[in-house]
Structure 1
């Protein structure tokens, strides 16, 4: 099985990624967000800068991410796990909007993410990927480069 193609398919087909963040004291928090890809090592999302996960990323920009098929049957789970670093960015809205349109979502204007607007554009630069490996006899992850 081509695990890199498997990871690409999971990232292309799904709409939500779960962000794993932690505050300055290390208290963990997870949040699902709609995401758009720019290649397989860059994910974008929009968030209110006042949300808990957004505040956490200001304190600790390292994060974990997971995309998974929540409709998979028991014993047939499919997932891509990632780690990386997140930041608020001004550039990248075009890539985010291309991903939105490809996944059936609406595009956003620059005014929505500008200072004083309701959202900020976040970018995760992924440095590692793993898949929940369907070729293993039991639950296990294998590193991949999609």
Structure 2
């Protein structure tokens, strides 16, 4: 399996990604978010705009992401690492982007464009990857292999 195929397998096998943000002073914050990938470059999640990671995005849209299976035995980890620019999806893009999000999670029937706008409490966010790598389970020391985008 190629590194690109391994990365796609990891992304599609997991429902959560870990989103790392920083506030305006550079203090870090990490959050697990339930996500949907799209086209190997965009990653979507739903959050409250007043949550710490969402507030951090308003001043620093640069994020780091890791997607991994935490149930693997020690020394067998595989992970996808991304650097990305993240933002709240604007109202004009909500119909298209919520359809993408719900394609992977069709049971989330309340995640419609109408439910992800004011005065409701949740919003849809997107991270667009600018760099990617994969950690392979190759029985050797941890090493990341750079990936071409889209994954």
Give TM-score, length-normalised by structure 1: 0.93
In structure 1, the partner of 2:10 is: 10
Number of aligned residues:
143
Q: Which moved more, 1:84-93 or 1:10-19?
A: 84-93
In structure 2, the partner of 1:98 is: 103
Helix, strand or coil for the counterpart of 1:117? Answer: coil
Unmatched tracts of structure 1, length 5 or more: none
Q: Which of 129, 132, 137 is the matching residue for 1:134?
A: 137
Deviation of 1:66 after TM superposition, in Å, equals: 0.5
Helix, strand or coil for the counterpart of 1:35? Answer: strand
Q: 1:1-146 maps to which residues of 2 (within 5 A)?
A: 1-89=1-89, 90=91, 91=93, 92-101=97-106, 105-107=107-109, 108-135=111-138, 137-145=140-148, 146=151
RMSD: 1.2
Unmatched tracts of structure 2, length 5 or more: none
Deviation of 1:136 after TM superposition, in Å, equals: 6.7
1:12-59 deviation line (CA, Å, top 9, x unaligned): 110000000000000000000000111110001000000000000111
Give TM-score, length-normalised by structure 2: 0.90
